[in-house]
Structure 1
Amino acid sequence: MKRAWAFSCILGLSLGLSVVLGGCGKDESRGLQEPVASASQAPARPAEAVEQEQARQPAASRAQSEDGFAIIQLAQLPRQAVATLRLIEAGGPFPYEKDGVVFGNRERLLPRQARGYYHEYTVATPRSRDRGARRIICGGPRRQIGECYYTDDHYASFKRIAD
């Protein structure tokens, strides 16, 4: 019994399954020690490493708008997003039936506005069988680029598109 338990713990720990197996930590009767760190307890990156990574990014990608959103330049957008912006400026026609519908801002990540202020547009995703996760959300009656936001994670985060 002890041998089977020890083997399953060693195998489980080497596969990162200590949470699933449970009881594989320090146990006086069996003499096993808990591993130094599991995959779920990976040490946080030091602040210096984060700062260095941010310093390597172009200044434009680190810029923030006055409302706190990261700014993305037109040149940084995928070409499909630039094409969608051009369609928005031209007033259509749009390839997806839901393009131009009111965006409800249910996530409340964009600045609060009256219902109907924001409209959403699909950014085509190559090789995707559906509309994908990429969208451009524009606000205001004229839908100017300066009032548009880009998301590539289906509304989990937004970047303001710079003019």
Structure 2
Amino acid sequence: MESHGNVALPTMGHYNCPAAKANLPDYMPAEACVTLTAIVQGGPFPYAQDGVVFGNYEGLLPQQPRGYYHEYTVPTPDARNRGTRRIITGGTPPTVFYYTDDHYRSFKSFQVNR
């Protein structure tokens, strides 16, 4: 895996997420395709917190003005709450995408071709 600052750039295989017109890295769970499809379509989202501004307080993503990043829940099967998995988008409309499965302790960049 390559590194770009504090963001890991994976070099693994991909799988197709046709509704979102994306090939997702295979380290991302199938539920990420559902979340990404909702992001691309503008909703609806299952959690009230989906789409809120992500503050990047950890400082792990590239510095951007407040409001640039937004977060979305990637459901975790059998979790009693939102779990730890998120997709973070940057830009409006989104042009950069990150995935975290450890609740913001690390991020992996991925691309969506539109």
Given the two structures, how large is their TM-score scaled by the length of structure 1?
0.57
RMSD: 1.5
1:153 corresponds in structure 2 to: 102
- Is the counterpart of residue 91 in structure 1 residue 91 in structure 2? no
- Is the counterpart of residue 115 in structure 1 residue 66 in structure 2? yes
In the TM superposition, structure 1's runs of 4+ consecutive aligned residues that sit over 3 Å from their partners are none
2:9 corresponds in structure 1 to: 71
User: How many pairs were matched up?
Assistant: 99
Query: Greater strand share, 1 or 2?
Result: 2
Aligned-pair CA distance for 1:162:
2.6
Query: Greater helix share, 1 or 2?
Result: 1
- Segments of 5+ residues of structure 2 without an aligned counterpart are 15-23
Relative contact order, higher structure (CA 8 A, sep 6+): 2
CA distance in 2, matches of 1:109, 1:69: 7
Aligned-pair CA distance for 1:116:
0.3
Higher mean alpha-carbon deviation, 77-86 vs 106-115, is at 77-86
8 Å CA contact 1:71–1:162 kept in 2: the answer is no
- Segments of 5+ residues of structure 1 without an aligned counterpart are 1-61
Question: What secondary structure does 1:149 align onto?
Answer: strand
